[in-house]
Amino acid sequence: MLNDGEPDFTDRYICDTCQHEDDIPTVGIIAGQFVSCLIGGGICAYLLIIRFRQLLQSVRSNDLGQTAADIALFLLAALFTVGFSFLLAKSLKGYYHRRAYLFPDFLPGKK
């Protein structure tokens, strides 16, 4: 393993047999993404549920001004929830990519 000049962001791995090079995200980056996803995604999911309840109440009361505001806030919370879900998928992909290099015996399909 060699450092690529970016020790905080990636580790560079070079295969001993074929000299294949690959940049792997560091544990700090992966852990930071994962924790951010859990906290931010949890908050956004909570806001999404709250905004959905508010939206239903404003639709039932026929208040068009409040309904428009609730729709906008609901869509914003949904957008952030999708963004945190994407970040969670990216952090899991980085984790499995790193694990494949550090522990090749634990790859799916290998026994």
Q: What pLDDT shows up at residue 77?
A: 94
- The neighbouring-strand residues paired with 46 are none
User: For position 26, what pLDDT does the model report?
Assistant: 84
| Regions of the chain where pLDDT drops below 70 | 1-10, 15-16, 104, 106-111
Q: What is the pLDDT of residue 2?
A: 47
Question: What are the backbone angles phi and psi of residue 14, rounded to the nearest 5°?
Answer: -125, 125
Question: What is residue 110's predicted lDDT score, i.e. its pLDDT?
Answer: 55
| Per-residue confidence (pLDDT) for residue 48, from 0 to 100 | 95
- CB neighbour burial string for 69-78, b if at least 16 within 10 angstroms, e if fewer: ebeebbeebb
Q: What is the pLDDT of residue 50?
A: 95
pTM beyond 0.75: no
